[in-house]
Amino acid sequence: MNTQASAFKIFSILFGVIYTLSFYLNWNVFRYYPKISQFSLQALPAKTAGPPINWYAWIAIAAVASAVIAFLVPRTWAERLPPGLSWQIPALLVAAVLIYEKHWFF
């Protein structure tokens, strides 16, 4: 397996993990307030700014962190990871999301 393959595999494994952690722990490096069409690094008052969208920040965190780690991880370490992890970990995350969000329905 070449370096590119290892990087893609690590990116795909990490992206879902970091995204899930970001929304579970509510890591918001920024927020978008659609009512006033404004990005903000700080939480703004809901009365004037309306509800925020955190999803953009969670995706941005996951993309940047996964890309950096995928680039930094030594190729020899990455090659030890079985290819199946590329779908097994995201599949577990999908299951975790479904379980976590069940409170909307019961």
The site for another protein (CB under 8 A) is made up of 4-5, 8-9, 11-16, 19-20, 23, 32, 34-35, 37, 50-51, 53, 55-56, 58-59, 62, 66, 83-84, 86-88, 90-91, 93-94, 97-98, 101, 103-105
Cβ-proximal residues to 32 (8 Å cutoff; 6+ apart), any chain: 38, 39, 40, 52, 53, 56, 57
Q: What are phi and psi of 32, to 5 degrees?
A: -115, 130
CB of 93 to another protein, least distance (A): 6
Shortest distance, CB of residue 42 to another protein, whole angstroms? Answer: 19
Cβ nearer to another protein, comparing 76 with 98: 98
Count of residues making up the chain: 106
Residue closer to another protein (CB basis): 74 or 84: 84
Tokens of 23: 């929304």
Nearest approach, Cβ of 58 to another protein (angstroms)?
A: 7
Residues 6+ apart with CB under 8 A from 19: 58, 59, 61, 62
